[in-house]
């Protein structure tokens, strides 16, 4: 059995906990029935004992497998190939959760349903901005109503690229939420709501050239960027070199830059030269979301 899940970039500036898209940078898991639990890990986190054990994956997988198989306890060999940088704002935790639920469905012999996987993932990840594109692929607008995710997807064209700047250190999600104020002014809320709505309209109508305006935010982005001031220069340089938009990916520390494919190499080179201590990657966008094969 095989499961593949893409990286994601959430918020996209003003779309706090609501907007996200999928990137063609995938974690893969191969699982086979086995007499004993066995785990092998390659790629990101392979040298970290905590990551090698994949405790989050196993917790979600075991819980869902027992639920779906009527209480059975199965033993499997898991082979993980991790490509999504861990704790860098590219949805690595959401990818693990989505992969585990999908794998549990396959192991239990159930034809998985993406909408059900998404709503199950909400039990483990309470914000829909990363889990939605991880499941669905493409650009997604998501909202919560009770314990359900309601979302709409737009496929992303092949002529766009994600130029990712991955810093050499992380910004913890808990700390990044603590820097946000408990109250906002009406002007701040209207600014970000209007820009999130405008960004949604631009993605849905493929009107890329106004994304620089729509991606501005007054809720979270600048407050979080102050924890790593170099990110202001990353954003400034990316926009100067032709990025369509440049936003903190999730709560950071990665910066997500959307560009036309023809402009991406120039932006990539400029960022790599200016920030040699950071990792710069260019990837296509993803429209498939989670993939599971028996």
Residue 57: the pLDDT is 95
Task: Report cis status (omega within 30 of 0) of the bond before 253.
Answer: yes
Q: Domains, the chain, ranges and CATH?
A: 2-155+287-293 (3.30.230.10), 160-284 (3.30.70.890)
Residues 256-274 have pLDDT tens digits of: 999 999 999 999 999 999 9
Q: What is the pTM of this model?
A: 0.95
Across the range 225-248, mean pLDDT stands at: 97
Using 50, 70 and 90 to split pLDDT, how confident is the model at 7? very high
DSSP-assigned letters across all residues of 29-58: EEEEE-SS-EEEEEETTTT-HHHHHTHHHH
Beta bridge partners of 292: 3
Residue 52: the pLDDT is 58
Residues 154-198 have pLDDT tens digits of: 999 999 999 999 999 887 767 777 899 999 999 999 999 999 999
Q: What is the mean pLDDT of the chain?
A: 95
Return the structure tokens found at 219.
Answer: 């809720």
**96-121 residues labelled b (16+ CB within 10 A) or e (exposed):** bbbbbbbbbbbbbeeebeeeebbbbb
Does pLDDT of 20 surpass 70? yes
Residue 264: the pLDDT is 98
Instruction: Tell me if 259 sits within 8 A of 163, measured CB to CB.
Output: yes
Does pLDDT of 50 surpass 70? no
Sheet bearing 255-260, strands edge to edge: 245-248, 255-260, 160-166, 279-284
What value does the CA radius of gyration of the chain take, rounded to a whole number of Å?
19
Cα 147 to chain center, whole Å? 21
Residue 136, Ramachandran bin (φ over 0: left; ψ between -120 and 50: alpha; else beta): alpha
Instruction: Tell me if 238 sits within 8 A of 246, measured CB to CB.
Output: yes
Cα 187 to chain center, whole Å? 29
Q: Which helix (H) or strand (E) holds 97?
A: helix 92-107
């Amino acid at each position: 059995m095989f499961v593949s899940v893409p990286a994601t970039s959430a918020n996209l500036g003003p779309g706090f906990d609501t907007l996200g898209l999928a990137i063609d940078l995938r974690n893969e898991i191969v699982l086979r029935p086995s007499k004993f639990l066995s785990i092998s890990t390659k790629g990101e986190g392979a040298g970290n004992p905590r990551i090698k054990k994949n405790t989050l994956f196993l917790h979600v997988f075991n819980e869902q497998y027992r639920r779906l198989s009527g209480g059975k306890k199965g033993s499997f060999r898991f082979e993980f190939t991790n490509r999504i940088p861990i704790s860098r704002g590219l949805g690595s935790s959401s990818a693990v959760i989505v992969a585990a639920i999908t794998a549990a469905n396959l192991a239990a012999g159930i034809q998985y349903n993406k909408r059900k996987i998404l709503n199950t993932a909400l039990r483990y990840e309470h914000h829909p901005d990363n889990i939605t594109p991880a499941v669905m692929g493409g650009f997604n607008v998501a909202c919560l109503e009770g314990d359900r995710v309601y979302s709409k997807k737009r496929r992303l064209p092949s002529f766009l690229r994600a130029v990712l700047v991955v810093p050499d250190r992380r910004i913890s999600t808990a700390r990044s939420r603590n820097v946000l104020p408990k109250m906002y002014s009406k002007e701040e809320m209207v600014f970000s709501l209007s820009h999130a709505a405008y960004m949604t309209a631009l993605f849905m109508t493929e009107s890329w050239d106004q994304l620089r305006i729509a991606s501005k935010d007054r809720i979270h982005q600048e407050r979080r960027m102050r924890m790593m001031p170099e990110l202001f220069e990353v954003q400034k340089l990316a926009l100067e070199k032709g990025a369509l938009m440049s936003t903190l990916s999730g709560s950071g520390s990665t910066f997500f830059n959307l560009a036309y494919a023809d402009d991406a190499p120039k932006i990539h080179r400029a960022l790599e030269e200016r920030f040699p201590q950071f990792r710069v990657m260019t990837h296509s966008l993803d429209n498939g979301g989670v993939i599971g094969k028996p």
